[in-house]
Chains A and B, each alone.
Chain A
């Protein structure tokens, strides 16, 4: 049962990710990205992390992508055109570089022997929170809140119309 769900979600993720890159219209890419993020959330749930799965839906699919869609609609995007001339060289170079990257990292990954850990894995909100508030991560946690505040102020300052 787990396996069927996992492979279906993985297929959905891959197809949507390819659509993100292949679609000509940016809003189509955004919708494909939403599908990818939701499928990933399902995979996180299958990997035993319900908290992160729901957080992914709330933050990524529910907030960040809404922001993207908003900006796309406000800026009134149109269908993108193909690159010309030197652009074609770029396309083949990009494909070559990515293929090389996949080959290298893939070679390392095939040598890994992963197995689900034997120790019982409790990953509910309480457990993650207990870890987050330990001294190792507490500073990073508080720093992240300041970061978000800075981003908030920065985004408003940058996008504001000059009076």
Chain B
């Protein structure tokens, strides 16, 4: 594991985060938006692990552990909301939920 590889892993993390953010903006289906959020969380995890390796400290991995568990909880609740949403309005389009707009 060379220094250059660590640097490239960090760039990969940045790229993943940007791609995830792009997805959150561009996609219409709410479940896909949730999946892009998971992608961003994973980019953060990768950054944590890279720095944990660079500084020889295991705290980074403990943080990844917490991010993993919180992401699981968030995915569960988010999907439950999506199911309730679908039942109520019969659409999964983010654009359709604008009743609090303006």
Most A Cβ at <10 Å: residue of B3, B6, B61, B70: B61
Known contacts: A3-B2, A52-B65, A148-B72. The answer to whether A154 contacts B53 by CB under 8 A is no
CB of A144 within 8 A of CB of B69, answer yes
CB of B23 within 8 A of CB of A83, answer no
Q: Which residues of B contact A48 (CB under 8 A)?
A: 1, 53
Q: Which residues of A contact B22 (CB under 8 A)?
A: 21, 94-95, 98
Q: Which residues of A contact B86 (CB under 8 A)?
A: 75
- Majority secondary structure, A binding face: helix
CB A66 to nearest CB in B, in angstroms, measures 11
A14 at the interface (CB under 8 A from B): yes
Cα of A33 to Cα of B75 in the assembled complex, Å: 14
Q: Which residues of A contact B69 (CB under 8 A)?
A: 59, 144, 147-148
A18 at the interface (CB under 8 A from B): yes
CB A52 to nearest CB in B, in angstroms, measures 5
CB of B19 within 8 A of CB of A117, answer no
One of B9, B42, B45, B79 near A155 (C-beta < 8 A): B79
CB B68 to nearest CB in A, in angstroms, measures 5
Q: In the complex, how many residues of chain B place their beta carbon closer than 8 angstroms to a beta carbon of chain A?
A: 70
- Majority secondary structure, B binding face: helix
CB of A128 within 8 A of CB of B65, answer yes
What mask results when residues 1 to 27 of chain B are scored 1 for a CB within 8 Å of chain A, else 0?
A: 111011111111011101111110111
Q: Which residue of A lies closest to B41 (CB)?
A: A60
Cα of A163 to Cα of B22 in the assembled complex, Å: 40
What mask results when residues 49 to 66 of chain B are scored 1 for a CB within 8 Å of chain A, else 0?
A: 111111110110110111
One of B5, B11, B65 near A132 (C-beta < 8 A): B65
Not counting A46-B1, A115-B3, A161-B87, a sample of 9 additional A-B residue pairs whose C-beta atoms are within 8 angstroms of each other reads: A10-B9, A21-B22, A52-B64, A64-B38, A75-B92, A91-B26, A102-B14, A112-B10, A113-B3
A residues engaging B (CB < 8 A)?
2-3, 6-7, 10, 13-14, 17-18, 20-21, 26, 29-30, 33, 36-37, 40, 43-44, 46-49, 51-52, 55-56, 59-60, 63-64, 67-68, 71-72, 74-75, 77, 80-81, 83, 90-91, 93-95, 97-98, 101-102, 105-106, 109, 112-119, 121, 123, 127-128, 131-132, 137, 140, 144, 147-148, 150-152, 154-159, 161
B residues engaging A (CB < 8 A)?
1-3, 5-12, 14-16, 18-23, 25-29, 31-32, 34-36, 38-39, 42, 45-46, 49-56, 58-59, 61-62, 64-66, 68-77, 79-84, 86-87, 92, 95
